[in-house]
């Protein structure tokens, strides 16, 4: 049962080859764009790598880069094939190359679709990674004298100012962590001693936040200490005050930023995917219609082209069987088969 049968006159074949040549160059450009977008996404993820716990999310830009490169190669060969397609003398040399070419192309095109789906599906993993990473960043904020953690303070401060966010989920995360180092606490002062004693772990906790949480759009000078104490500041009520500090949490801000980036990239890659599918389908049609007229005297006759000779499942098995045979060959053959072979 043939899939996608189509009758093609000589003129139609010529026009198909011409359009295909131009289309394949656009698709090559699309592949280059995909590769560039993958590089860009990877750079952006690495910039904030210090507040991420794991690198699972990097599979998306890595896949995009691989698919971009593969797409450029596939479309380059597609353009060469269609250039030679109308010349009956040059076309036969592509014969042995075409089957593996189509196998690889379908594989990488499906990989392109998978990468788009991944970019939406990895949101949960990204959020978890950021949650843990930010929690650690806030915990080690005060350790500017510990090697390996000296720059946590700087990283978190810059992050909060750039993304206009405060803390992990909100500014109250800073109340649960000691973010002032012991080096700058006067242990002879009664107030400091009281605070440390009132806490189980002996930590100096305050209802204050670092200066990087301050909102520049606030009409009044920033209130960053004794935030929950209304009487400590004139004309101030912390429950209704919205402009003093950044309200948004940094996890939410970063997830929003990266999902926006991946949505845009996903849309572009999806259109490149559609372009590539059409290129592959056209190459297949051209190839089959040219093979129908191969060996004939008059090349200008009508011919039939099709997408798949057999049904989808049978064609799939046809491609997968050689790969499976290659894998089975390394296995030891089962003893019954050996005995049977020995008996016969």
Partner 1 sequence: MAVLPIKFTKTKRDRLAQVLWVLNWISVVTGIILFILGIFLKVEINKRQDLMAERQLQSVPNMLIAVGLIACMINFLGGKICYDCVDTNKFLRWKLVMLPYIICTFFFTLSVLVGALMCYSMHGQLEEALTVGLRDAMRYYKDTDTPGRCFLKRTVDLLQIQFQCCGNKGYRDWFQIQWVSNRYLDMSQREVVDRLRSNVEGKYLMDGVPFSCCNVNSPRPCIQYQITNNSAHFNYDYQTEELNLWMRGCHQALLDYYTNIMHSIGLTVLIIWLFELSVLTGVRYLQTSLENVLRQGDPECESDGWLLENSFVETARSNFNIIKHLGKFNQISSNGDPNIDKPSTAHYGPDNVPLKPLPTAS
- 46, 90, 95, 220: which one contacts partner 1 (CB under 8 A)? 220
The Cβ-side half-sphere exposure at 219, using a 13 Å CA radius, reads 4
Smallest separation, CB 291 to partner 1 (Å): 48
Non-local CB neighbours of 5 within 8 Å, separated by 6+ positions: 304, 305, 306
Smallest separation, CB 207 to partner 1 (Å): 14
- Measured between alpha carbons, how far is 290 from 88 in angstroms, rounded to an integer? 8
**Range in contact with partner 1 (rule: CB under 8 A) among 34-42, 80-88, 151-159, 324-332:** 151-159
Smallest separation, CB 255 to partner 1 (Å): 24
Q: Is there binding between residue 161 and partner 1 (CB under 8 A)? A: yes
Q: Is there binding between residue 48 and partner 1 (CB under 8 A)? A: no
Cβ proximity to partner 1: between 143 and 291 the closer is 143
Cβ proximity to partner 1: between 243 and 312 the closer is 243
CA neighbor of 35 nearest in space, from 91, 73, 92, 6:
73
One DSSP character per residue, 29-68 reads HHHHHHHHHHHHHHHHHHHTGGG-S--GGGHHHHHHHHHH
The binding track of 162-181 with respect to partner 1, each residue x by CB under 8 A or -, is -----------------xxx
- 30, 210, 266, 305: which one contacts partner 1 (CB under 8 A)? 210
Non-local CB neighbours of 288 within 8 Å, separated by 6+ positions: 304, 305, 306, 307, 309
Say if residue 37 is exposed, middle or buried (CB neighbours under 10 Å; 0-12, 13-18, 19+). buried
- 47, 93, 186, 337: which one contacts partner 1 (CB under 8 A)? 186
Say if residue 181 is exposed, middle or buried (CB neighbours under 10 Å; 0-12, 13-18, 19+). middle
- 96, 235, 239, 330: which one contacts partner 1 (CB under 8 A)? 235
Q: Is there binding between residue 184 and partner 1 (CB under 8 A)? A: yes
Smallest separation, CB 179 to partner 1 (Å): 7
- 15, 158, 203, 338: which one contacts partner 1 (CB under 8 A)? 158
Smallest separation, CB 241 to partner 1 (Å): 12
Q: Is there binding between residue 214 and partner 1 (CB under 8 A)? A: yes
CA neighbor of 71 nearest in space, from 103, 100, 104:
104
- 136, 170, 224, 315: which one contacts partner 1 (CB under 8 A)? 224
Smallest separation, CB 190 to partner 1 (Å): 14
- Measured between alpha carbons, how far is 72 from 23 in angstroms, rounded to an integer? 13
Three-class secondary structure of residue 86 per DSSP: coil
Number of residues forming the site for partner 1 (CB under 8 A): 30
**Subset of residues 95 to 114 that bind partner 1, contact rule: CB under 8 A:** none
Are the C-beta atoms of 38 and 64 separated by less than 8 Å?
yes
Q: Is there binding between residue 32 and partner 1 (CB under 8 A)? A: no
Give contact residues for partner 1 (rule: CB under 8 A): 144-145, 150, 153-154, 157-158, 161, 179-181, 183-186, 189, 210-212, 214, 216-217, 219-222, 224, 233-235
């Amino acid at each position: 049962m043939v899939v996608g049968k189509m009758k093609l006159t000589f003129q139609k074949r010529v026009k198909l080859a011409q359009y295909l040549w131009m289309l394949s160059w656009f698709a090559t450009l699309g592949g280059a764009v995909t590769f560039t977008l993958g590089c860009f996404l990877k750079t952006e993820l690495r910039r904030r790598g210090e507040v991420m716990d794991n690198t699972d999310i990097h599979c998306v830009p890595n896949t995009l880069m691989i698919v971009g490169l593969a797409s450029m190669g596939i479309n380059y060969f597609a353009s060469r094939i269609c250039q030679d397609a109308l010349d009956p003398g040059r076309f036969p040399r592509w014969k042995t190359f075409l089957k593996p070419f189509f196998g690889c192309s379908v594989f990488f095109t499906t990989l392109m679709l998978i990468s788009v789906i991944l970019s939406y599906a990895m949101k949960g993993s990204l959020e978890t990674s950021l949650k843990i990473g930010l929690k650690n960043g806030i915990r080690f904020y005060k350790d500017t004298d510990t090697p390996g953690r000296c720059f946590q303070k700087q990283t978190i401060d810059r992050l909060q100012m750039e993304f206009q966010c405060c803390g992990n989920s909100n500014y109250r995360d800073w109340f649960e962590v000691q973010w002032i180092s012991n080096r700058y606490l006067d242990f002879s002062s009664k107030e400091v001693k009281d605070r440390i004693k009132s806490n189980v772990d002996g930590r100096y906790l305050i209802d204050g936040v670092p200066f990087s949480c301050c909102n520049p759009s606030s009409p009044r000078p920033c209130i960053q200490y004794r935030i929950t104490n209304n009487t400590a500041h004139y004309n101030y009520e912390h429950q209704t005050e919205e402009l003093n500090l950044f309200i948004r949490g940094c996890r939410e801000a970063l997830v929003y930023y990266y999902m926006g980036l991946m949505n845009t990239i996903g849309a572009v890659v999806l259109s490149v995917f559609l372009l590539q599918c059409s290129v592959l389908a056209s190459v297949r049609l051209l190839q089959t219609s040219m093979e129908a007229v191969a060996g004939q005297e008059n090349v200008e006759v009508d011919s039939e082209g099709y997408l798949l000779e057999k049904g989808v499942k049978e064609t799939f098995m046809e491609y997968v069987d050689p790969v499976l045979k290659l894998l089975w060959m390394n296995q030891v053959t089962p003893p019954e088969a050996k005995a049977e072979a020995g008996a016969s």
